[in-house]
Amino acid sequence: MAPRKKKEEKPVRRRKNANAYIAGAGTVVESHVTETLKSNFMPYAMSVIVSRAIPEIDGFKPSHRKLLYTMYLMGLLKGGTIKSANIVGRTMQLNPHGDAAIYETMVRLSEGNEALLHPFVASKGSFGKAYSRDMQYAAARYTEAKLAPIAAELFNDIDKDTVDFVDNYDATMKEPVLFPVSFPTVLVNANMGIAAGMASSICPFNLREVCETTIAYIKDPDCNVSDTLLAPDFPIGGQLLYDRNEMERIYETGRGSFRVRGVYRYDADAKCIEITEIPPTATSEQIIEKIVDLVKAKKITEINDVRDETDLDGLKITIDLKKGVDAEKLMKKLFRSTPLQDSFSCNFNILIAGSPRVMGVKEIISEWVAFRTECVRRRVFFQLAKAKERLHRLHGMEKILLDIDKAIKIVRETAEEREVVPNLMIGFGIDELQAEYVAEIKLRHLNREYILKQLDEIKSLEEQVAELEDILKSRSRVLKIIVKELQEVMKKYGKDRRTQIISAEENRIADESEEADRSPYTVFFTKDGYFKKISPQSLRMSKEQKLKDEDEILQTIETDNAAELLFFTNKQQVYKARVSDFPESKASLLGDYVAGVLDFEEGENPVYMVVTHDYAGEMIFVFDNGRVAKIPLLSYQTKTNRKKLLNAYCEKFVLHTVLFLPAATDLLLVSTNGRRLLVNSAAISGKTTKNSGGILVMTQKRGQRIFSAEIYEPGKLENEHRYRTKNLPAAGSYQPSGTAQQEQMQF
């Protein structure tokens, strides 16, 4: 057997730089990263922005438009409902993205889902609920749908050249680029989308208020939007905490946020709270799960049971209360701690002529009015062309009125059919269009009475043409038409507000007065990181504290339930909480493990606790090398409700002691060499930067460090003036030999 030939090895091609890539067959092609991104990612990003995620000025994304237009072509504005699967299948002629995506779009547009203030799809069957995660919609083969009456406002005059049409994806059908909507749907129904590098979040407004605002803008472009457009309005209802400055900022810029809270009623007989409306950003399951977590963590102790009792009558979450519980106080606590109160973020990003723009409400209305003006002008121009064409034909009929017999004779004596129209044109001096119209008149209509009736229409048509031409010349008349149509929409579809408006400022003051629970407590903090708050009554019954083995109490402070807590940790962080966040404890219990309650990082432990109401006072950080940092406690105050602050103190040096000083006082520093130094905290320069390394206060020789640091109690040292100094840093002084304190010191 002949020896097998050794396979010839191909030379390995190495990339010269990071911008090279293998194109195939061992070929390396040079390409810049930026060019690759442009050629691959940019088309995708633009497709998502323009063709999927961002709504246009008519208030719809392409997926909405394709579905609703298909239902319109199917004649679903009238008659009964049909199977959703049928609608979904037909929509695939326009939308190639699959039946599941099309059906989900229909679900959100439906009445049954309750996601929109004014749904465009009338539904029959289970379409799920927007406020519930677990109440899912049934399959398309089980549900039925048709267009809701308000959908007629989307298609008015769509067949009168009011908007442009384009080919569908396979060029077998035409579909509208936009709907000629007769009211600003973009502001009436909520619309959200996430594109590539941008997003859109448009809150819904009351239809009547939107129409009134649009009319006010048409009459006076300098009008104040806030006078007529009170606030957003959500299908689920709720209570909107109204801040006029924030709302006007949203109206002006198109960006911002506001808070919405749920609505409840208290049943005194059943001793329960029934929540019937929730924020649009929450689901009933999220709220129940959060309440359960709070009860398990003993942060809320007033609840016996919570359950979902949603039925055909609508949403209902029932909370059973313990005896003697104040329902209003409990709800304020739930609003602070659960999604029962949440923020809605606005980002009014809309496609205008194919380009995304973030606009305020007035600018959106301005763009819609410009769009609607063009739609009305195109409709009027279409009607004018039709009227002129009809008038032109009737003028031709008018000419044959003088001699009908002549017209009949011309037709009868013409040998070939194709010569009839030319002969009529010659015989009566009319054009081809008029002659064609005359030639198509039925034999039974060749009587004077019929022709005279047709000719009576000429005068009205001439008046109509003059009227339409005048409208096209006058922008004010076009705007009057828009106003009239808006008034008709308000009258037919206007509804009262569902979302209540309450003052955010008054609510804040009420919450603050409610939060100011000044019930007295004594709080304990232990070396192992346990926290207890015990009432005076409970403390009088038993003062002996239960602790873990080798644990000890580091701090005991008398305070009240409204105080704030700061826990400094061994990882240069501080965690913030309130005394009211912790459940009441007893001396016979270990208390709450702070690291677990506040979600500390792994290996992180609390080393010191501060109790404050007004953040007055100073923090003292004593490091092993004799440096001391004095930081105002005010530096740890935050306007937002942040639970954790980083860089609470300097990490460059080893921390020895943390102290909180409500006012300036003397500190006693003791070094491992036996020297003592008395220094007043006022002599230490303060720093506003939290992680400052401070200043050197007590000098240390090599191998020495701070042994102890504490607040000095007058009389503890004999001849205390020996240990004071006028200048810092200082080494301190030894204690005279033979004193009791010296004999107790062992290093």
Before 221, cis peptide (omega within 30)? no
Beta-carbon neighbour count of residue 183 at 10 Å? 25
395: helix, strand or coil: helix
Q: How far apart are CA 544 and CA 534, in angstroms?
A: 12
Give the residue from 474, 468, 448, 202 showing the smallest Cα distance to 346.
Answer: 202
Asked if 142 is an active-site residue, the reply is: yes
Q: Nearest Cα to 342, choosing from 241, 448, 481?
A: 241
Q: Which two tokens stand for residue 177?
A: 């680029």
Question: What region, left, alpha or beta, does residue 654 occupy, with left being phi > 0 and alpha being psi -120 to 50 degrees?
Answer: beta
Q: How many helices (H) and strands (E) does the chain have?
A: 22, 35
Name 121's bridge partners: 110, 147
Number of other CB atoms surrounding residue 31 within 10 Å: 13
Count CB-CB contacts under 10 A for residue 95: 21
**How far apart are alpha carbons 640 and 222 in whole angstroms?**
36
Backbone angles phi, psi at 129, to 5 degrees: -135, 135
Backbone angles phi, psi at 669, to 5 degrees: -105, 135
Q: Which of 142, 251, 593, 636 is catalytic?
A: 142
Beta-bridge mates of residue 123? 145
Round to whole Å and give the CA distance between 63 and 95: 7
Which residues are within 8 A (CB) of 168 and not within 5 positions of it... i.e. 6 or more apart?
Answer: 93, 94, 174, 175
Nearest to 593 by CA among 537, 530, 504: 530
Containing H/E element for 382? helix 361-400
Can you name the residues that pair with 425 across neighbouring β-strands?
none
Q: Which two tokens stand for residue 317?
A: 């979450």
Pairing outcome for strands 500-503 and 239-242: parallel
* Helix boundaries (H) for 220-304: 225-228, 244-253, 284-296
> Which tokens in the block code for residue 288?
């129940």
Distance CA 276, CA 309 (A): 10
Q: How many CB atoms lie within 10 A of CB 470?
A: 11
Active-site annotation, residues: 142
